[in-house]
Chains A and B, each alone.
Chain A
Amino acid sequence: MKPEFDELIHAPNRLRICAALSTVREAEFSVVRDAIEVSDSVLSKQVRLLQEAGYVKVSKATVNTRQRTWLALTGKGRRAFRAHMLELRRLADAGVAGA
């Protein structure tokens, strides 16, 4: 995979959302919110941006009469996240080599 910097993913909260979702197939909204320690509104706003870019899939499911929101990285999102991480590693390594 080619390292590629992704401006959308690079923002700290969105990077953390992608990193958390990258380890699982799907996670409930509250689980991601607690894992990355942000408020509902912050997570909701960042997820909407990622969703608009086609990086995150949002689905609703009713469990015990309560509606729950599930988040998952799409194939495109997973590839973009991995490429971005490779680019960050390349930049960090270049810094070490140049020091």
Chain B
Amino acid sequence: MTKRKWPGPEEAKKHLAQAALASSSMTGHAPSGFRWYNWLWLGIVAVMVLAMTWPLMIRVLVMVAAAAAFGAMMAAASKKTGVWVSGYHPGITRLLAIGYVLFLIAIMFCVEHAHNSMGIQWAGPAGALLAVALGACFLQLWFRAYTRQL
């Protein structure tokens, strides 16, 4: 069995440059900062947070519709561009998005319980504030995952 000659520094540099060029050739498809779907996600989060003060059924409907709309837009974009627009850490970004929605649902039920069973009138706005704060934290993490800093 012949053993391959280990590449020298020059060959390594050449290959690194080739890899960098190939990665950058996907620019326009690959995530490089805040793109339209990040803003769309932000808008959906804002609607979900706003929905915290709405009646329960409307809240659930808004969340399902928002998630479906986001999924449909992403699928449409992937068909159009030929690239599934997701970052280097698709698993992490997806987990963060799902995690945030789960937190929102948990807050929603807590608000509902506080309002209906305990009679706390300010539970809705407090829940919305908490959702905004959590949203800011998740967004920061999400952005870091997208820009490959995680």
* Residues of chain A whose beta carbon lies under 8 Å from any beta carbon of chain B: 5, 7, 10, 12, 15-20, 22-28, 30-31, 35-37, 63, 68, 70, 72, 85, 88-89, 91-92, 94-96, 98-99
A92 touches B16 (CB 8 A): yes
Residue-wise, chain B 5-20 has the 8 Å CB interface mask toward A (1 for contact) of: 0111110110110111
- Shortest A66–chain B CB gap in Å is 11
Partner of A31, one of B19, B21, B81, B87: B81
- Which of B25-33, B35-43, B104-112 contacts the other chain? B25-33
Q: In the complex, are the beta carbons of B7 and A19 less than 8 A apart?
A: no
The smallest beta-carbon distance between B72 and chain A, in angstroms, is 15
Which of these, A16, A25, A36, A91, contacts B84 with CB under 8 Å?
Answer: A25
Query: Would you call B149 an interface residue if the criterion is a C-beta within 8 Å of the partner chain's C-beta atoms?
Result: no
**Secondary structure call for the A interface:** helix
> Min CB distance, B122 to chain A, in Å?
42
Mind listing 23 A-B residue pairs with CB under 8 Å? A7-B4, A10-B15, A15-B18, A15-B19, A16-B19, A16-B22, A18-B19, A19-B19, A19-B20, A20-B26, A23-B23, A27-B29, A27-B83, A31-B82, A31-B83, A35-B25, A36-B25, A88-B7, A88-B15, A89-B12, A91-B9, A92-B13, A95-B8
Contact (Cβ within 8 A) B10 A36:
no
A5 to chain B, nearest CB (A): 7
**Known contacts A27-B83, A31-B82: A22-B8 contact under CB 8 Å:** no
